[in-house]
Structure 1
Amino acid sequence: MVRTMVWWTVAAASAILSIFFLFVGISLCRAAYDLENPYQFILTFFSSNFIILISAVILLGVVLRMIGRLRQGHSPAAVDSPRLTPDSSESLAPHDQSNS
């Protein structure tokens, strides 16, 4: 249950942070049009679009992971419990093992 809560907390924090930087990128893009120097405009415009692109991709990834996690429908105990793999020596019957 703790791992599930940590996962949702990290996912929500990532979504909030990417939304914040998405708005920062949009406001920076709007501010670029007020610049007088064309070189500053080009650099500010492309850097703001890069910030918007990265923020949108991170937000999309987080949202898709959240949707996938909700669609799985696993109980918290099934998600948090480790999967045990049998040891190869346990799978053999006692008469199948050779005595050396």
Structure 2
Amino acid sequence: MFWWVRFIIFSGISLFFLEFGIEEMIRAYQVKHPGEFLASFFSSSFIILISGTLFVAFIWRMVSHFKEGKEP
């Protein structure tokens, strides 16, 4: 039971950072200075990439354990 709760919490945290990255991407397009735009754009892209990958990995792992029918 603790395993499921842990991975649900991890998935929620990764969704939070995914939303944060999307919001940062939207803010990047409102910046006027080109250097600040590049820094904000690439940092938000990196946040979106990492958090999206982690979210997919956590869901994949939960689904595979659910299909196997075993408790970790």
**Normalised by the shorter chain, which TM-score bucket?**
over 0.9
> CA-to-partner distance for each residue in 1:1-30, whole Å, 9 max, x for gaps?
xxxx11101100000000000000000000
Residue in 2 that maps onto 1:87: none
> CA-to-partner distance for each residue in 1:46-95, whole Å, 9 max, x for gaps?
00000000100100100000110110013x5xx5xxxxxxxxxxxxxxxx
Query: How many percent identity over aligned positions?
Result: 36
Corresponding letter in the other structure for 1:44 = S
SS in 2 for 1:35: coil
Unaligned ranges ≥5, structure 1: 80-100
* 2:69 maps to which of 70, 73, 80: 73
Higher share of residues assigned helix: 2
How many corresponding residue pairs? 72
Query: Per-residue deviation at 1:42?
Result: 0.3
Q: After TM superposition, which residue ranges in structure 1, 4 or more long, deviate above 4 angstroms?
A: none
RMSD: 1.0
* Pair member with larger Rg: 1
TM-score normalised to structure 2 length = 0.95
C-alpha separation between the residues in 2 aligned to 1:50 and 1:39? 17
Residue in 2 that maps onto 1:29: 25
Corresponding letter in the other structure for 2:39 = L
Residue in 2 that maps onto 1:44: 40
TM-score normalised to structure 1 length = 0.69
**Greater RCO between the two (CA within 8 Å, min separation 6)?**
2
C-alpha separation between the residues in 1 aligned to 2:16 and 2:67? 27
